[in-house]
Amino acid sequence: MRREHKGRLSTPWLDRMCLSLTLIGAYLLSPLLSSIIKDYVGQNSGIISLIILILISPLVGDFISIRITNRIYNK
């Protein structure tokens, strides 16, 4: 879905930055989520919370980059 000419869908660096930032945020939020779900899943709560957050991060990063792209190109 990328265009050769600069335009609405040609923002690979914005997408990469948003994904990187959401992955870093997921890593930082992992201990908090781990302590919340520890009663339900036990000892493996750290690994499970990190996996859940890493799976959700691309969705959140894509949502953020689409919002930023729309705001840039729809002035």
pLDDT band at 74 (very low <50, low <70, confident <90, very high): confident
**49 close to 56: Cβ distance less than 8 angstroms:** no
- Domain boundary assignment for the chain: 18-73
Q: What is the pLDDT of residue 3?
A: 55
pLDDT band at 2 (very low <50, low <70, confident <90, very high): low
Nearest-CA neighbor of 47 among 58, 70, 31, 36?
31
The model carries a pTM of 0.73
Question: What is the total residue count of the chain?
Answer: 75
Residue 31, CB-side half-sphere exposure with 13 Å CA sphere: 1
